[in-house]
């Protein structure tokens, strides 16, 4: 059976970059996201795209690797989140620090209306979207959104747990000692266990998988 999921995009742009994330880029990003999950029986539908131009919000409130003003950040999410807990909200920021591609919370038990409900969506660097003029190095094809949404669906990193048997909790994912970088074909970070590292898996850190 197909699992149907409503998706809501939220675009936060600075004044200087108000026209960077075009409608065409949004559609291209959704096609990448949709194509990443459809083979596994998950049908995503883009319900709406909201936009805001605000120089502070456009940073995702990130300063030096952390959220500087959590109250303002939570207020923004509270104002803009759409749908129930089964709806995927993805927030894109034109001016998020380039050292972060994005992040997303794993599913849990929430009460609709509490802060964990509003923090449920994925936060993604807008420079990871396909077609932007200044893409992130190694993350400019739109796959970051697939990676972060994978967390929203409950997936862990492929290197979770290192070379332990339980690993990421997915039986057909080979054990992996640590995150991959670049495109290390043939990498085998757990040589005593079966299988090469799944470097092409969206949930690794190889180039353009996240």
* Helix intervals (H) in the chain: 23-37, 70-80, 115-118, 143-152
155 Cβ contact list (under 8 Å, min separation 6): 168, 170, 203
Give me the catalytic one of 112, 137, 148, 185. 148
d(CA 196, CA 186): 6
Distances, alpha carbon 108 to alpha carbons 42, 58, 119, in Å: 19, 27, 11
Rounded Cα gap, residues 184 and 182, in angstroms? 6
137 labelled catalytic: no
Read off the tokens for 195: 């299988």
Q: Which residues are catalytic?
A: 148
């Amino acid at each position: 059976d197909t699992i149907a999921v409503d998706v809501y995009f939220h675009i936060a742009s600075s004044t200087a970059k108000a026209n960077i994330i075009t409608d065409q880029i949004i559609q291209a990003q959704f096609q990448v996201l949709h194509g990443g999950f459809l083979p596994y029986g998950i049908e995503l539908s883009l319900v709406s795209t909201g936009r805001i131009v605000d120089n502070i919000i456009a940073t995702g409130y990130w300063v030096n690797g952390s959220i500087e003003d959590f109250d303002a950040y939570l207020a923004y999410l509270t104002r803009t989140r759409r749908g129930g807990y089964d709806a995927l909200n993805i927030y894109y920021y034109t001016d998020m620090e380039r050292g972060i591609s994005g992040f997303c919370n794993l599913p849990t038990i929430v009460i609709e209306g509490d802060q964990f409900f509003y923090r449920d969506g994925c936060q993604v660097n807008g420079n990871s979207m396909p077609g932007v003029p200044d893409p992130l190095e190694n993350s400019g094809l739109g796959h970051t959104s697939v990676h972060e949404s994978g967390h929203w669906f409950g997936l862990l990193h492929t290197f979770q747990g290192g070379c332990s048997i339980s690993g990421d909790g997915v039986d057909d994912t080979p054990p992996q000692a640590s995150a991959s970088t670049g495109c290390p074909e043939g990498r085998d970070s757990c040589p005593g266990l079966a299988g090469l590292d799944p470097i092409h898996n969206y949930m690794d850190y190889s180039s353009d998988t996240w």
